[in-house]
Amino acid sequence: MITIRFPSGHSVQYNSATFVSHDDLGSRLFTKENGALLARVQHSAGAIIEFMTPCRVYNALDQDRLAELTKEVRSLKRKVTKK
């Protein structure tokens, strides 16, 4: 399993990716079973390729924003129920 993390905060997890090759244009992710190409990542993308096991695809920046909005909604609920 290989994860690509982009500067925007988005992450993409490739469950069947097992190895990466690099050339002048960027990196290529392949499967081990049949050597099929799964994805290409240009060097200019500024992405980080990880050989870790994350559990989801998400935008970390949006997660922080969602937590702030959830807190705001709870605050508004308390204000509304007090009246």
Comparing CA positions, the residue from 15, 44, 18, 45 lying closest to residue 29 is 18
d(CA 59, CA 29): 21
Q: What is the pLDDT of residues 12-30, one digit of tens each?
A: 989 889 889 999 989 999 9
Q: d(Cα 16, Cα 82) in Å, to the nearest integer? A: 53
Tell me how crowded residue 41 is: count the other CB atoms within 10 A of its CB. Answer: 20
Which residues form the domain of 77?
A: 2-82
Q: Count CA atoms within 13 Å of residue 58 on its CB side.
A: 10
Number of domains in the chain: 1
What pLDDT does residue 21 have?
Answer: 93
pLDDT of residue 83: 63
Residues 53-72 have a mean pLDDT of 71
Task: Please give the pLDDT value at position 47.
Answer: 92
Band the pLDDT of 75: cuts 50, 70, 90.
confident
pLDDT exceeds 70 at position 35: yes
Is the pLDDT score of 61 beyond 80?
no
